[in-house]
Structure formats: structure tokens, C-alpha cells
Structure 1
Amino acid sequence: MTANPKHPDVLLIGASRGLGLAIAAEYLDRGSRVVATVRGDGRTALHDLRDGAGSRLEIEHVDINLPDQVHALRDRLGTRRFDLLFVNAGVANRPEETPADVTTEEFTRLMVTNALSPMRVVEALGGLVVPDGTIAVMSSGQGSVADNERGGFEIYRASKSALNQLMRSYAARHRDDPRTLLLMAPGWVRTGLGGPGARLTVDESIPGLVTTVDAQRGRPGLRYLDYRGRTVAW
């Protein structure tokens, strides 16, 4: 793949449905080539998208909670290079659960899937991104400690705050890296994860999010931004 700032070559982790699927569709609509991943072996909406995109969309399989699969994906991609690595991963729990009643297994599931595994993907696949490219990770406005005035979604919030902290540590360890690093907050979107009562539709969130990601290219360092390009408080 060759770099083209107007049509970035994208490696998108987690695109079988929801926000990831919408991001894949948006980049394809904008003329990009996309390698996108799904977790299982069954047919997904991403496969339907590929039917209309042809060779510009490739589908890979990886479960990011299984490090061996992440490293196998790295080996399969070999010497290929991408303008953007976008890690989209997230699971939710019952919003009313607190540390007083959440099970250890459920707490661990959210922390591993929402924080640890995305950063393991960044560590494993970040080297595939060109020097002036971008590494973006899907966070959430609920990961903001400063903006947490009402509580609720406590375990999910904690997992996204942990993700943000880990990404800040990654940026500190790579402070001389010229690539752009982004934590993206898509807003509360009506997806399977966001639920039917969410404030935004996918079409109200994802085009702006993609525009924001692309506009940040060439700006080294880490930023925490929402889908409109506004800075989110840590």
C-alpha cells in the first residue's frame, strides 16, 4: 500500500458491526483502501460491505483478547504499511453495576477488552503505520475523569479511563515518535453497545469522527478528541 493523505490506507481493528462497520463504510466511501477485522468465522455485515467494495476492502480475522491471534495477524500483514491504524473495541455491562455488585469476572472482561487488549494491538501493529501516519483508538467521553459529574456506567467508565491512561503512557514512551496518536470519543451513538436511547445516530457521529482523525494527521503527540474535533478533558 502507498500513502495518500486524501485516501489513507486503513487498518481497522473491530469492524463487524456498529461503529467499526460504519468507519469502514465511511473510509470506503471516501476512496480509501481498508483492511478490516472481524472476530469470528461467520458472515457479518462487513462481508456484505465487501460485496460492493471489491478489492478495496479486505477482511482479516482476529480476536484481540487472544495475543497469539494478534501476533499472527501481524505476521500475515508482513511488510505492508498503512496510513492509519484504528483500533475499535469495546464491550459494555449493565449501567447500574457498581464495584459493590459487579462480579470479578465481569470487571475483568471489561478491563481486558476495553483497555488491555486495544493497547496490546497498538504495541503489536503500531510498527505497520508509516512515520507520518496515525494511530487512533476508540475511547469514550465516559473515560473522562474530569467530566464525570453524574456517575453511572461506573465499570465501563473505569475501563475507558484505564485505556486513556495506558495510551498516555504509550505516548510518553514514544515521545519522539512523529506519528499522530488519538483517543477518539464518538459521542453516545445508537448502536448495539450504545443502545436505542442514545443521542446520536451513526450518520451524525462517524463522518465527523473520520474527518477529525484525518485532519489530525501530521501532528505528533497524543490528543483526546470528540467526533467534532473538540478536546475532551482528561
Structure 2
Amino acid sequence: MPATPGRQALVIGASRGLGLALVDELALRGWQVIGTVRGPGGPLEGHAPGGRVEVESLEMTDPAGLTALRGRLAGRRLDLLFVNAAIDRGDLPIDEVHTDEFVEVMITNALAPLRVLEALGDLVAPGGTVAVMSSEQGSVSLNTEGGYELYKASKAALNQLMRSYATRTADDGRTKLLIDPGHNRTRLGGPEAPLEPRDTIPAVVDVLESRAGTGGLRFLDRFGQPVPW
């Protein structure tokens, strides 16, 4: 894939796994990338192919930290804002989920990503892309097997909130994407997952690059195929 010189990207949640692989792949294609991490000393430090990666600190669920990041990025112009963050608190029926765990998962997986878009979306140039890492597990129509009820609910909530955001900002000229990367071997996906992030993410970036400038909202898998809502 040819490099894409001059493009600017911000990846929220790049400490490890899919987010880290996304930063590396974008940088290798010639993008200038800002990746956020929750604390110093993580794997992203030193991951700077061609010197094209900056590292910023952000705890995504902290509104004050998000405001501070917005201030530090004032005046920047992005072609891509990608929010990658999710947690899981186990495979329990919803009636066995503690209220605190329910709130934690919903804030991290659904509310916080949209707060990021609200705070940082105006940094994305008209014609740029705003994307969020979702999951097939958030598809209501595909929820035909049991398990992971809270995680599925949180991703369905994320998808619905993204739909509302896209409707409200339909005239801003930006492309909005929900991306299902498949089941990857990450801390969230577990060691038995069939996919490896460094094999998955190049296909995801192909989708991001091919959909740039197309406008509207789409829920797509890593091959660019629609995922049922």
C-alpha cells in the first residue's frame, strides 16, 4: 500500500493491542500520528516508524483530562480521529452483573467514546473521518447466541449513540465509521482469539483510507463489508 503523505491522525487508546497496531500501520503508510496512552512507559513509547508518532496522555473516562488534551491540540487539523477503547467484566447473565460494573462498562465503552468525539471532533477537517472501534457483538440482529450480555449491550449502546451523533452532525462533511475488527488476540479478546492485530489492522486501515471523503455513517467489518445493525 502506498504511503499517504501529509495526513494527520489521532488514535485514542493506543497503549497496546489494536490501538498500538493501528498507530504503527498508519505511521508506516506515511501518516503523522498522535497516539494516546493512559500512562507513561507503555509499549507505544519508542514506536515511532520514521519519527511520525507523537504520544499524548489521556484517561478517556476523565473529563478534565479530555479538556486538557483538547487544549494541547488546539490549532491542529486532523484527517482521522479514531477512538479505540473497551473493557469487559466477564460472561455473566445481566441479572448477576453488579451495578458498579454495569456503570463502569457503559461509561468506558459507550459514553466516553462519544465524549471524545464531542470534544475533539471539530479538529477533524471537513472531508476527514471520525471512527470508533465497535464490534459485531453490538449488532442487535446478530445477537442469536448467548453470552457476554453486558459487553454486547455496551457496544449496541455505542452504535446507537454514534448513530445519534452522525444524525446531529450530518452536515459537517465528515465521514463517520463504526469498525468491527473481528475477534483478535488482545487483552480483551483473550489468547484463544483467531485473529492477530498486526494481521487485522492493515485491512482496517485499507477501509479507513478507501472510505475517506465518502460521508455518512457506516458500520463495517475489517474488509469494508456492512455489519447488520
**How would you bin the TM-score normalised by the shorter chain?**
over 0.9
Alignment match of 2:43 (pick from 42, 45, 48) = 45
Question: 2:216 and 2:34 mapped to 1: Cα distance?
Answer: 25
C-alpha contact 2:109 2:155 (8 A) present in aligned 1 = yes
C-alpha contact 1:187 1:227 (8 A) present in aligned 2 = yes
> 1:30 maps to what in 2?
29
> 1:172 maps to what in 2?
167
C-alpha contact 1:177 1:220 (8 A) present in aligned 2 = no
Aligned residues: 226
AA matched with 1:93: R
Alignment match of 1:110 (pick from 105, 111, 116) = 105
> 2:16 maps to what in 1?
17
Alignment match of 1:83 (pick from 79, 103, 121) = 79
Alignment match of 1:137 (pick from 132, 143, 146) = 132
Question: 1:23 and 1:171 mapped to 2: Cα distance?
Answer: 23
Q: Deviations over 1:180-225 (max 9, x none)?
A: 0000000000111100111211133111011101110111110000
- Structure 2 residue 57 is matched with structure 1 residue 61: yes
Unaligned runs of 5+ in 1: none
The sequence identity of aligned pairs, in percent, is 51
RMSD, matched Cα: 1.2
After the TM superposition, list the runs of 4 or more consecutive aligned residues in structure 1 that deviate by more than 2 angstroms. 5-8
Normalised to the residue count of structure 2, the TM-score between the two structures is 0.96
Alignment match of 2:224 (pick from 191, 208, 229) = 229
Question: 2:205 and 2:143 mapped to 1: Cα distance?
Answer: 26
Unaligned runs of 5+ in 2: none
Question: 1:224 and 1:22 mapped to 2: Cα distance?
Answer: 21
Normalised to the residue count of structure 1, the TM-score between the two structures is 0.94
Cα drift, residue 53 of structure 1: 3.9
Q: SS of the counterpart of 1:35?
A: strand
Q: SS of the counterpart of 2:110?
A: helix
